[in-house]
Structure 1
Amino acid sequence: MKQLTIYRILTFILVPIALIIGFLDLFVLIMGLSGNPAMLFIAFVMACLVIYVFASLRFLLHGIGNERPCKSTLKDWIKVNAYGTLFISGMFSLNSTGVFFLGDIQLQQMLSDVMEQQPELAGKISMETMVSMFKTVAVIMFIISITAIIHVQISFRLLRKHAFLFVK
């Protein structure tokens, strides 16, 4: 019962995050379709997270919550997109961890290199603000990634436990 409560809380935390990522994914998809094919992979992986969250929400509300039978394809959608979610969450956590281990001087050097490529931003934002924003984003992405990884773990357990809910 405690596991189900944690799963429910994590699901409702991930829903607004999935909405934001889904909105950003539209822009990434447009960039990928307008001449940057490398962005299509990123759009695909971001879509996996969004689809996973809403498929698991449906499983939670309709399957577990109301004990109504679910289509077996829902289980497949959850499983397949869970692997994409694990991939993007792993990348988020690795990138965040990398930022945590960078010193302020190294981070400032990296950001100044990026700022040189973006001359329109050079005078508008101070380096201290950029470093602070970068670290804040890294912390947020780390928390999101850990939340998603734990959610996927619990999802797999609940899919096994409630396998009787899925009909063919």
Structure 2
Amino acid sequence: MMTLYRIFSYFLLIIAAFLGIGLVAVLFIALANPSMLLNVFVGAAVVLYSISSFLFLINGIDGKKQLKPGLKDFIRVNAFVALFFCVMNIFQSVTVIMNPSVLGEAINQLPQLTTGQQLPKETILKVLKATMWFLLIYSIILFAHIQISFGLLKQNAHLFGNNSKS
């Protein structure tokens, strides 16, 4: 179980780095369009969960160091938001994968760009399908990682100082 958790942790950390960079760019767009801010905050919670759970693994479980009691709550809060992210992505990905005509309709509704060379719709469709499969796999791994983390947080409550009750 710990080997799988370690592999998932490194995988999630790598994806969190890319997601974090993308979120910084999207944040500036979201400031002009406040309806996007919720998506930015959910993505930020996923990044923060990935980093904080990795620190818990490296410093707490492996390093046997005492961690700040607030880290446990920080991991749990961001994990709950990340669970929301997982559930939404799993439902969305499964829906699109099971009904590929949804992607075709979305591609047909894309505005035509008048400048530059356009990608063929088949290429765009392949990229979107690959993205949906990646999001599905990523969300399942993140979901499993969160479940394992909750168990490890309980099992290693002693690492969070004397203030930890659970």
Residue ranges of structure 1 left out of the alignment (5+ in a row): none
Determine whether 1:110 maps to 2:106. Answer: yes
Which among 55, 58, 65 is matched to residue 58 of structure 1?
55
Superposition map of 1:76-91 within 5 A: 76-91=73-88
Residue type at the aligned position of 1:26: V
Which among 137, 160, 164 is matched to residue 166 of structure 1?
160
Query: Partners of 2:150 and 2:102 in 1: how far apart?
Result: 40
Residue type at the aligned position of 1:27: A
Query: Partners of 2:155 and 2:147 in 1: how far apart?
Result: 13
Which among 30, 55, 71 is matched to residue 28 of structure 2?
30
Aligned length: 162
CA contact (8 A) 1:48 1:85 kept: yes
Secondary structure at the residue paired with 2:33?
coil
- Closer, same or farther: CA 23–8 of 1 in aligned 2, 3 Å: same
The TM-score normalised by the length of structure 1 is: 0.91
The aligned residue for residue 95 of structure 1 is 92
Q: What CA RMSD, in Å, does the superposition of the two structures yield over aligned residues?
A: 1.6
Residue ranges of structure 2 left out of the alignment (5+ in a row): none
The aligned residue for residue 147 of structure 1 is 141
The TM-score normalised by the length of structure 2 is: 0.92
Query: Partners of 1:106 and 1:7 in 2: how far apart?
Result: 35
CA contact (8 A) 2:83 2:143 kept: yes
